[in-house]
Chains A and B, each alone.
Chain A
Amino acid sequence: MSLDARDSLDELLRETLRQDATGASHSVARLEARVLETLGDRAPRRGLWGSLRALVAPTRAGRWTQLAFVGATASACLLVGFFLGDRLPRDRSPEPVALTRAAAPAVKTATAEASDQDGVLFILPAPNARVVSLVGSFSEWEPVPLTDNDGDGIWTAQIPLSPGRYEYAFIIDGRWFGQDPSADDYVKSFGEYSSVRYIGGGGGA
């Protein structure tokens, strides 16, 4: 048979492919058993919507039994929520942490009058700290080191500041400490708290 005719090639392809499959058909002789063995007790997967529908669909146990179960579960969740509601903290707003509260005032700023001459004195009791620095809007958030020359754990820095509003935070051994207990206010930005202090009754930074 010549291959020049188009139909001939089609027929030859058809025959060849079928003969290939027939010749190797013993490979799938016990396929059913193998597939069922692999599946075992597995059932067709449910999608999310199918699972939700199955939750509310009637079963052999009856619709009322199923609804009672769903209702009881929902009621239990509500009761747990009700009792836990009063016990869990409702507000995670800046509650000054206990790092320096015991030794308060943690940061003692000089008076506005003093700031004219000596600047504002920042004091931080941190007995076990190795490196303490101060960052704030007054330094473009560049660290200003605090010193503890006598080794008593009281770290200080004198910063000349004009009256105004300043945001600041301490960095104690590389860790941010933005909740100064003696601050006038707190702000949260980029996930971190910073303290706010008004010097000389100023309202601008």
Chain B
Amino acid sequence: MYRTQDEVSLLRASLDGQTEAWGEIVTRYKDAVFGLCLGFLRNRADAEDVTHDAFVRAYLNLRRYNLDRKFSTWVFTIAANLCRNRIRYRRNHPVMEVEFEMEGSADPARTVAREEQQVHVREALGTLPYAYRTPLVLRFYNDLSYKEIGDILAIPEGTVKTRIHRGKAMLKEMLDKERGAS
């Protein structure tokens, strides 16, 4: 029943206490939110926890959501804030081993060279400073505009552009260094 409803109807139903409607909202956005958290945190278990918390918090604060704003931007903002809290927590409570689980390739035809490049990108992303990694994830995983990224991270649009530019430059430098070494 809920799958055919539009987003606003689902949100109104959720506000009326119909949690099944909220379940449908979770289904629609969970991949985007999880991918954001995974990109930000680079840790699967933390990303899973934060994604769960983000949807719980969003539901409890649903009355604060302004219909004029894109729902995705709102829920991404909540997730980004929770990720920032988790990163701070991890500074004092580091995990023994950074966990990043991969399960095969989505594309069987992928060449070995391409997969190798992705391994290097993954490693480079992990070492990139958080302030530069987050706009890259929002730009290249969530396909958001500079303005939306600025709204979510609470930074000016110009800063978003700068950080994306510098973040990519740093990544490229790391990848080139890796390529030169191999």
Contact = CB atoms under 8 A, between A and B. Distances in A.
B103 A24 contact: yes
A50 interface: yes
Interface stretch (A38-46, A72-80, A93-101, A143-151): A38-46
A34 B20 CA distance: 12
Given A9-B168, A36-B23, A44-B15, A28 B102 contact: no
Contacts of B19: 36, 39
B63 A45 contact: yes
Contacts of A191: none
A55 B168 CA distance: 54
Given A17-B140, A27-B44, A32 B26 contact: yes
Given A9-B172, A12-B121, A27-B47, A18 B141 contact: yes
A43 B55 CA distance: 13
A21 B102 contact: no
Contacts, number: 130
Interface in B144-171: 168, 171
Contact of A39 (B22, B102, B125, B140): B22
A23 B23 contact: no
A59 interface: no
Given A36-B23, A45-B61, A19 B105 contact: yes
Contacts of A31: 26, 30, 34, 51-52, 55
B141 A21 contact: yes
Interface string A1-29: 10100100110111111111111111110
Interface residues of A, number: 37
A36 B137 CA distance: 28
Nearest to A3: B175
A35 interface: yes
A51 to B, nearest CB: 11
Contacts of B82: none
Contacts of A21: 31, 34-35, 38-39, 141
A47 interface: yes
Contacts of B136: 13
Nearest to B54: A35
Contact of A14 (B51, B60, B140): B140
B85 interface: no
B118 A44 contact: no
Interface in A104-126: none
Q: Kindly list the 5 A-B residue pairs having the minimum CB-CB distance in the complex, ordered from nearest.
A: A21-B35, A17-B141, A44-B62, A23-B103, A27-B48
11 contacts: A10-B140, A13-B125, A14-B140, A20-B122, A21-B35, A23-B103, A24-B101, A25-B31, A36-B19, A38-B56, A39-B60
Interface of A: 1, 3, 6, 9-10, 12-28, 31-36, 38-39, 42-47, 50
